[in-house]
Amino acid sequence: MNQFITYIKPFFNDNPQSLDTLLEHTVVHTYRRDIVYCREDEERPYWCYVIDGLVGAYQLDAKKPYLHWVAGDGHYFTGTKHEYSFNSQSLRISFLKKSKLASIPLPIIQILQDQDPTIRRFVSILRQRKSTFFDLKALVIAYDPTMRYAKLCEHLPHITDQLNNIQLSAFLAIDRKTLYESKREVLFGRP
């Protein structure tokens, strides 16, 4: 819990009472790598802040598993379609690394946002981070498959260090051969 407090305290400098209110409803859990948090047909109505680790959501109805999104340190996700929904998002959410999450039930975070402007601002900032991530990923995916790794290095460089080659291939929606050739070109400057 101390690590979570350290991460989010700057958001609550103006109103420490809001931080206390948020912490009253927060539970911290640790998960091992490769554990499934939520299956495609399930919903887990929790708002989860990633304190440490990496979580990813796979879309399995594609030809090959597609890593739709990842959430690393300082980002959040929900076990539902979005934070105002209790429907499944048709994605399998798994832990890509050993991870520590701060979890708050969705109905509670909704009520807290309605009642407390500081909490609303905090969630809004995190929502904007998530939106920016999706915008950058869409930009990367719009490129030809042979260019995606180079564009990922340019726009989301921290992702290249966090994912292994299988995960990178699923994240970029390219086959591994294309990924290896792209990596070689980026790292060594030759095709």
Instruction: Read off the pLDDT of residues 8-59 as tens digits, 9 standing for 90 and up.
Output: 999 898 888 999 999 999 999 999 999 999 988 888 889 999 999 999 999 8
pLDDT on residue 46: 92
Query: What number is the average pLDDT over the span 124-134?
Result: 94
| Domain parsing of the chain, residue ranges | 2-115
Burial letters for 40-60: b for 16+ Cβ neighbours within 10 Å, e otherwise? beebbbbbbbbbbbbbbbbbe
Q: 2-115: which CATH topology?
A: Jelly Rolls (2.60.120)
CB of 179 closer than 8 Å to CB of 93? no
- CB atoms < 10 A from the CB of 143, how many? 14
CB of 102 closer than 8 Å to CB of 48? yes
Q: Measure the CA–CA gap between 48 and 76, rounded to whole angstroms.
A: 5
Q: Measure the CA–CA gap between 45 and 86, rounded to whole angstroms.
A: 6
pLDDT on residue 43: 83
User: Whole-model pTM above 0.85?
Assistant: yes
What are the tens digits of pLDDT across the range 157-169? 999 999 999 999 9
pLDDT on residue 120: 94
What are the tens digits of pLDDT across the range 52-103? 999 999 988 767 889 999 999 999 999 876 666 666 678 899 999 999 999 9
Distance in angstroms between the alpha carbons of the first and the last residue of the chain: 47
Query: What number is the average pLDDT over the span 180-187?
Result: 92
Query: What number is the average pLDDT over the span 100-124?
Result: 94
